[in-house]
Amino acid sequence: MSNGNMNLTLKVWRQKNAQAAGKFVTYKAENISPDMSFLEMLDVVNESLTHKGDEPINFDHDCREGICGMCSLYINGHPHGPKRGITTCQLHMRTFHDGETITIEPWRASAFPIVKDLAVDRSAFDRIQQAGGYVSVNTGGVPDGNAIPIPKVVADEAFNSATCIGCGACVAACKNASAMLFVSAKVTQLGLLPQGQPERYRRVQSMVAQMDEEGFGNCTNTGACEAECPKEIKLTNIARMNNDFLSAKLFRQEVLHEEQHGGA
Amino acid sequence: MSEFKQTFNSSLGKKLIMALTGLFLCTFLIVHLGGNLLLFKDDNGFGFNVYANFLTHFPPIEVIAWILYLAIAVHAIYALILTVKNRKARPVGYAVAAKSDASWSSKNMGLLGSILLVFIVIHMGDFWFKYKYTHEVAFKEYRTDLATDQTTVSDYTPVSADFNHSVSTENNVEIVRVKDLHARVAHTFGNIWYVLIYVIAMGALSFHLLHGFQSAFRTLGWVHRKYTPIVYGIGAWFFAVIIPIGFALMPLWYFFMHKG
């Protein structure tokens, strides 16, 4: 390969829909530039599949610059591939070597049913967000910016947690398919800031209840989620959520959102 | 469903139960190791046998003992419930095993815990059950001359089958008659297979607590920039090193130093 391009073998999970049985299919990815992103490599493979009249490989993607949370893929035992702190769209083919076999699997969790091939339905995360991952704002005049002083350490911690893009890599990496890193990031980002205080204890109860409802597993503090998170969300968020949840349940008067609104 | 029931049925509530029972069992280990250090005393088992007799005949300890057995059962049952739920959360596994750098102990708590549960059954069958519910453990009589503080020991055969223990003083000589659990310990630890089982189980205990102790604090939500390193230090050095080594030394010491 004089131009430095690579030939790879891909083992890709193919599955028609949620009900159908899936299987691994082996493809050749030929003449792949090391400067391509992983998704561009799949585009090239799909193009050749389309030319041959085969069904292209279905995978999720959108912004391709690491901020939308749409891309996924469990690559050689790692969500978003072997490099730390990046999404699959930011993963370049130079990470792999010529002749390598790459196994590509969808996120595996009962709460993330497979839509087709490598694409999974992550609307469970949306429902958890809708259960309480917001701040209610009343109408009225716009408050002055920076009118509420917030210590820098607190703001930093909240903003770090707010970088969660909801891609689901934490669930994919967790041996228990637990969504605790995601939920705790959302709980933390709002719960640490003054604007999030009024709903803090109702929020954590509602979001955890929805998380349980969706059938995610239970956290065993292994820290695989933290290691694989493309946004490097910290495990300490989970402890903070536990603290908020237990104080809400054992010591506070607040009840779940639904009960507050008469079971709506 | 009442609010408390709802709390303890939630994922975090079940984890809370695991954490609280686990930490309670950790505190028990400290007491158990502390008391059993009497095994290292060269007094023909006098101190140890009196201590064992005290543990089985002092009512408050009896109550705590049953709370302890309950804690072990709850910890194991909830571990099973949570494991089944976790397996259900991922019905189809990955073809390529996860390569994330989570610690080995954190990923194998179920295996380590199962080893410990089997060990606890063997261990309690060996000592606790035979001591409390059978006549297999013989008696010893310790005569201490209160003037010189010299203790002599002899075998004692009780007249009645119901005999438990007695303490009396005759002619300035204190006579203590108790079940000789010490001899049972020395006999058990003379068997290489038992020694191996005990040492392997203490290895499992070490790795179980290496993850478990600090994980319990995370589950309780007690994470703090200043105190978490201390919790890690106690978990790693005290619970995963000192405690298991302390326990493992007992069978090893009896096997190599005390033979017969």
User: Is A212 at the interface with chain B, CB within 8 A?
Assistant: yes
Mutate to test the interface with B, among A75, A175, A235 (most CBs of B within 10 A): A175
Domain residues of chain B, as ranges? Answer: 3-91+106-137+180-257, 138-179
Each residue of B11-54: pLDDT tens digit?
999 999 999 999 999 999 999 999 999 999 989 899 999 999 99
Each residue of A172-197: pLDDT tens digit?
999 999 999 999 999 999 999 999 99
pLDDT at A1: 47
Return mean pLDDT, chain A: 93
- Residues 20-39 of chain A with CB under 8 A from chain B are 24
pLDDT at B73: 98
Chain B environment of A215 (Cβ under 8 Å): 88-89
pLDDT at A262: 44
Are the beta carbons of A103 and B95 separated by less than 8 Å? yes
Mutate to test the interface with A, among B223, B227, B228, B232 (most CBs of A within 10 A): B223
Of A108, A235, A243, the CB nearest to B94: A108
* pLDDT at residue A264 is higher than 50: no
Task: Report the 10 Å Cβ neighbour count for A194.
Answer: 10
SS (H, E, C) chain A: CCCCCEEEEEEEEECCCCCCCCEEEEEEEEEECCCCEHHHHHHHHHHHHHHCCCCCCCCCCCCCCCCCCCCCCEECCEECCCCCCCCHHHCEHHHCCCCCEEEEECCCCCCCCEEECCEECCHHHHHHHHHHCCCCCCCCCCCCCCCCCCCHHHHHHHHHHHCCCCCCHHHHHCCCCECHHHHHHHHHHHHCCHHHHHHHHHHHHHHHHHHHHCCCECCCCCCHHHHHCCCCCCCHHHHHHHHHHHHHHHHCCCCCHHHHCCCC
Q: What is the mean pLDDT of residues B238-258?
A: 94
SS (H, E, C) A88-129: HHHCEHHHCCCCCEEEEECCCCCCCCEEECCEECCHHHHHHH
pLDDT at B90: 96
Question: Measured between CA atoms, how close is A105 to chain B, in angstroms?
Answer: 7
Give the percent of chain A with pLDDT over 90: 88
In order of start, what are the domains of chain A with their CATH numbers? 6-115 (3.10.20.30), 123-260 (1.10.1060.10)
Q: How far is CA A36 from CA A39, A68, A93, in A?
A: 8, 19, 6
Question: Measured between CA atoms, how close is B202 to chain A, in angstroms?
Answer: 22
Mutate to test the interface with A, among B9, B11, B78, B232 (most CBs of A within 10 A): B11
What is the value of pTM for the model shown? 0.92
Give the percent of chain A with pLDDT over 70: 96
The Cα B237–Cα B228 span in angstroms is 14
User: Is A108 at the interface with chain B, CB within 8 A?
Assistant: yes
Each residue of B185-235: pLDDT tens digit?
999 999 999 999 999 999 999 999 999 999 999 999 999 999 999 999 999
Least confident of A6-15, A45-54, A254-263, B102-111: A254-263
Chain A environment of B15 (Cβ under 8 Å): 218-219, 242
Are the beta carbons of A208 and B12 separated by less than 8 Å? yes
* pLDDT at residue A142 is higher than 90: no
pLDDT at B1: 60
pLDDT at A27: 97
The Cα B26–Cα B205 span in angstroms is 10
The Cα A195–Cα A137 span in angstroms is 9
Each residue of A39-90: pLDDT tens digit?
999 999 999 999 999 999 999 999 999 999 999 999 999 999 999 999 999 9
Return mean pLDDT, chain B: 93
**Beta strand pairing status for B173-179 and A101-105?**
unpaired
CA B102 distance to own-chain centroid? 28
Residue with tokens 């049913």: A113
Of A110, A224, A241, the CB nearest to B90: A110
Give the percent of chain B with pLDDT over 90: 81
Question: Measured between CA atoms, how close is A108 to chain B, in angstroms?
Answer: 6
Q: What is the mean pLDDT of residues B70-96?
A: 97
Are the beta carbons of A11 and B102 separated by less than 8 Å? no
- Provide the 8-state DSSP code for B238: I
Each residue of B120-159: pLDDT tens digit?
999 999 999 999 898 889 999 999 999 888 899 999 988 8
Task: Compute the count of residue pairs across chains A and B with CB atoms less than 8 Å apart.
Answer: 135
Confidence of residue B60 (pLDDT cuts 50, 70, 90): very high
**Contact status, residue A167 vs residue A179, Cβ threshold 8 Å:** no
* pLDDT at residue A92 is higher than 80: yes
Q: What is the mean pLDDT of residues A1-12?
A: 87
Mutate to test the interface with B, among A222, A240, A251 (most CBs of B within 10 A): A222
